[in-house]
Amino acid sequence: MQDTRQPAFVLVRPQMGENIGAAARAMWNFGLDRMRVVSPRDGWPNERAVALASGAGRLLDHAGLYEDVAGAIGDCTYVFATTARPRGMTTPIVTPERAMQQARAMLEAGGKVAVLFGPERAGLENADIARANAIISVPVNPDFPSLNLAQCVLLCAYEFRRAGDTTPPEVMEMAGTDFATGAELAALGDHIETRLTEAGFFFPEGKAPAMRQNLRQIWGRLPLTRADVQTFHGMFRQMVRWAEGKRPKG
Amino acid sequence: MQDTRQPAFVLVRPQMGENIGAAARAMWNFGLDRMRVVSPRDGWPNERAVALASGAGRLLDHAGLYEDVAGAIGDCTYVFATTARPRGMTTPIVTPERAMQQARAMLEAGGKVAVLFGPERAGLENADIARANAIISVPVNPDFPSLNLAQCVLLCAYEFRRAGDTTPPEVMEMAGTDFATGAELAALGDHIETRLTEAGFFFPEGKAPAMRQNLRQIWGRLPLTRADVQTFHGMFRQMVRWAEGKRPKG
């Protein structure tokens, strides 16, 4: 289900194989599968990376291996660099959301986009950042800004997917959900009001109109399904049956 | 720099201490520090969690420990459940972005919000999800949807922080509305279930467990106010009083 047009995620001098594997998983979680790796510390292929990538191992098999950043981005028309601390450079700083919206737009227009991720400890060097057209800065807690490699990859992949996403922000799961109609709710309200009147619920008399009004508002406001309405009818029917001493067998 | 008003992130039956530690880090990366833990598999405190939390160990020191989900959300007015696969429930499904916008709005209005995260392998059980007002579904790659615990925590914490960067586009109408807490809803459910049991509602016996489950889901799902809860208590108390022939004067 990967996008045919997607950015390359470039891991620059990654150290731990575990983190490379976790990054592959994070990418594939959001449908991205174009990984490039620049001089990984422990060589290539990396067994620990493969072990940790589990279901996303294919990304490692197909990853491009490069000696330096220049080679890894040689075919790209626009490059983002991720860094926790922008370091006084004359480069636009964008949020992950904005960056991935831009990436999608450029890809649609036929561009080739890369996102650079630095080594775990030190992050990208200034020389790497200088090759980028823009800096992605994740809005982290300044008291605890240390995102790890796979987390940073995860957030960027998530934002790329979100930028193309047509998922409505909120849906009521409708499968098998059949909301009650106004008439059904009114009938339910009438039924319950009748039962409660018989039961002496609306007491004292001076407060009865307000109590009735309040009860009617409840039925109008709650998102009751048809099944809920039947349940409520049944509850009150049964309270009456019980009260009349006609308990069902069993 | 933590927000003074923030959701509680509830780890439900977490398994690996490493993942609890990583979840603490992910929360604190985005300024959240209210963690609750429900019956962690390996007991509490957990050494592996502490080792992995590094700079976020304070969250573990202050985490609330609970025996069950009901206890962990007892003071909460709105509960989100995170799950990869919504399972045919009549519950709104929201994106992480929308959920955290809603959470922020409800917190601003004085509500208390919890987000449930399931155990690593199996995720939340239906009984846990039934206690939630809404389901958070991350728009993952359907071919590879397996987000780990800390990643799911990370995305929600990220979205909560992001939601504070701008005015939420939509606010639930909260002014003057005092929603019932989880404990109040649980007490209402128990009360009604007791009355209906006495009244012989759960019949035939073979269907009783499903009927009880269905009824509990209703109370978890409906946005009942404190006043609504009192009204429902009163309705059932009165049905009993009436049944016992003790009608009030007048």
pLDDT in tens, B110-144: 889 999 999 988 889 988 988 888 999 999 999 99
- Cβ neighbours around A117 below 10 Å, total: 26
Nearest-CA distance from A124 to chain B in Å? 19
ipTM of the prediction greater than 0.90, yes or no:
no
Cross-chain residue pair B196–A238, CB shorter than 8 Å: yes
**For residue B173, what pLDDT band results from cuts at 50, 70 and 90?**
very low
Sheet hosting strand B35-38, strand order edge to edge: A170-172, B92-94, B134-136, B78-82, B113-117, B8-12, B35-38, B64-66
User: What distance in Å separates the CA atoms of residue B109 and residue B96, rounded to the nearest whole number?
Assistant: 20
Provide the pairing of β-strand B78-82 with B113-117. parallel
DSSP B72: H
Q: Measured between beta carbons, which residues in chain B are less than 8 angstroms from residue A154?
A: 151, 154-155
The structural domains of chain B, with segments of one domain joined by +, span: 8-163, 182-246
Looking at residue A53, what is its pLDDT?
95
Name which of A176, A198, A241 is nearest B88 (Cβ-Cβ): A176
Percent of chain B with pLDDT over 70: 90
A236-to-A127, A191, B134 alpha-carbon distances in Å: 75, 8, 28
What residue type is assigned to position A61 of the chain? D
Looking at residue B172, what is its pLDDT?
40
Count of CB contacts below 8 A, A vs B? 176
Residue B230 pLDDT greater than 60, yes or no: yes
The fold for domain A8-163 equals Alpha/beta knot (3.40.1280)
Compute the half-sphere exposure of residue A84: CA atoms within 13 Å on the CB side of its CA.
Answer: 20
Provide the pairing of β-strand A93-94 with A64-66. unpaired
Distance linking the first and last C-alpha atoms of chain A: 54
Looking at residue A86, what is its pLDDT?
61
Looking at residue A142, what is its pLDDT?
87
Residue B176 pLDDT greater than 60, yes or no: no
Q: Which residue has the tokens 């008439």?
A: A183
Using alpha carbons only, what angle is made at residue A225 by residues A222 and A228, rounded to the nearest 5 degrees?
Answer: 90
Cross-chain residue pair B227–A215, CB shorter than 8 Å: no
DSSP string over B84-146: SS--S-SSEEE-HHHHHHHHHHHHHTT--EEEEE--TTT---HHHHTT-SEEE-----TTS--
* 3-state secondary structure at position A79: strand
- More confident of the two residues B50 and B225: B50
- Residue of chain A with shortest Cα separation from B145: A29
Cross-chain residue pair B141–A235, CB shorter than 8 Å: no
- Residue of chain B with shortest Cα separation from A233: B201
Q: Which residue has the tokens 């916008």?
A: B101
Q: Which helix (H) or strand (E) holds B65?
A: strand B64-66
Looking at residue A1, what is its pLDDT?
47
* 3-state secondary structure at position B221: helix
User: What distance in Å separates the CA atoms of residue A100 and residue A80, rounded to the nearest whole number?
Assistant: 10
Paired strand residues for B38: B12, B66
Looking at residue B167, what is its pLDDT?
35
Q: Which residue has the tokens 């004359």?
A: A90
Name which of A218, A227, A250 is nearest B228 (Cβ-Cβ): A218
A45 prior amide bond cis, ω within 30: yes
Cross-chain residue pair B31–A141, CB shorter than 8 Å: yes
**For residue B215, what pLDDT band results from cuts at 50, 70 and 90?**
confident
Name which of B90, B139, B224 is nearest A173 (Cβ-Cβ): B90
Instruction: Please give the model's pTM, rounded to 2 decimal places.
Output: 0.78
Percent of chain A with pLDDT over 70: 92
Q: Measured between beta carbons, which residues in chain B are less than 8 angstroms from residue A205?
A: 250
Cross-chain residue pair B250–A162, CB shorter than 8 Å: no
Nearest-CA distance from B61 to chain A in Å? 17
Q: Which two tokens stand for residue B158?
A: 């990220």
Residue B81 pLDDT greater than 60, yes or no: yes
Given a contact cutoff of 8 angstroms between Cβ atoms, the answer to whether A69 and A131 are in contact is: yes
Compute the half-sphere exposure of residue B152: CA atoms within 13 Å on the CB side of its CA.
Answer: 29
Q: Could you read off the pLDDT of B150-160 as tens digits, one per residue?
A: 999 999 999 99
B244-to-A200, A202, A223, B241 alpha-carbon distances in Å: 12, 17, 33, 5
User: What distance in Å separates the CA atoms of residue A10 and residue A16, rounded to the nearest whole number?
Assistant: 15
Q: Could you read off the pLDDT of B100-114 as tens digits, one per residue?
A: 999 999 999 888 999
DSSP B179: B
